[in-house]
A and B are shown apart, each in its own frame.
Chain A
Amino acid sequence: NAGVTQTPKFRVLKTGQSMTLLCAQDMNHEYMYWYRQDPGMGLRLIHYSVGEGTTAKGEVPDGYNVSRLKKQNFLLGLESAAPSQTSVYFCASSQQDIWEKLFFGSGTQLSVL
């Protein structure tokens, strides 16, 4: 089992460029999440999904969009990247009935210049 896989692992963007981060899970989990991790600020929820075709805003959704077209995939998009979006991004998933335990991917280091 691969668990939660994130691609790419590293990316450098210029201000204003767009990109999509891909998260894939092979555990048949209903819930999927995107977090960003910044020094001294812990993990903050960007968007989440409670099932295929559904998405919802988290704590810091501005500047990001998401899609959950397939149950196993959760995409995070940056339409016009800003330096404030320089961060490490983590995808996570959880089972619907034991949703408290989160399974995390290994992260994407994004730098916006």
Chain B
Amino acid sequence: QQQVKQSPQSLIVQKGGISIINCAYENTAFDYFPWYQQFPGKGPALLIAIRPDVSEKKEGRFTISFNKSAKQFSLHIMDSQPGDSATYFCAASTTAGTYKYIFGTGTRLKVLA
């Protein structure tokens, strides 16, 4: 119930294409769904996040789509660029009860020039 399942494990996209990474969760107490971006040799950094009261959030070329009934959320990167090549982690957290902040297993994205 604590897991956040992320797919695919790796993704190769042509420059200008759309990158889509999916995550699914079980715990309905989760109320915050961030995405982190990690470049090689660096720590993860918050990219974009969504709360379950909205179905979509967009920041520039990055969009989170959220489906509360299906307990799924996804990251869409429009017009993917080589500089977007990184590892992306979804996560889910809750303010209810004991601290919980669970990460997915990560997706390594490579955008070809």
Contact = CB atoms under 8 A, between A and B. Distances in A.
Contacts of A48: 99
Interface string B30-58: 00101010000111111001000000000
B44 A40 contact: no
A63 B52 CA distance: 36
Interface in A82-113: 90, 92, 99-102, 104-107
Contacts, number: 47
A4 interface: yes
Most chain B beta-carbon neighbours within 10 Å: one of A4, A33, A107: A107
A45 B99 CA distance: 11
B101 A102 contact: yes
A41 B105 contact: yes
Interface string B73-113: 00000000000000001000101000101011110000000
Contacts of A35: 103
Nearest to B9: A40
A100 B49 contact: yes
Given A100-B93, A107-B43, A40 B105 contact: yes
Interface of B: 6, 9, 32, 34, 36, 41-46, 49, 89, 93, 95, 99, 101, 103-106
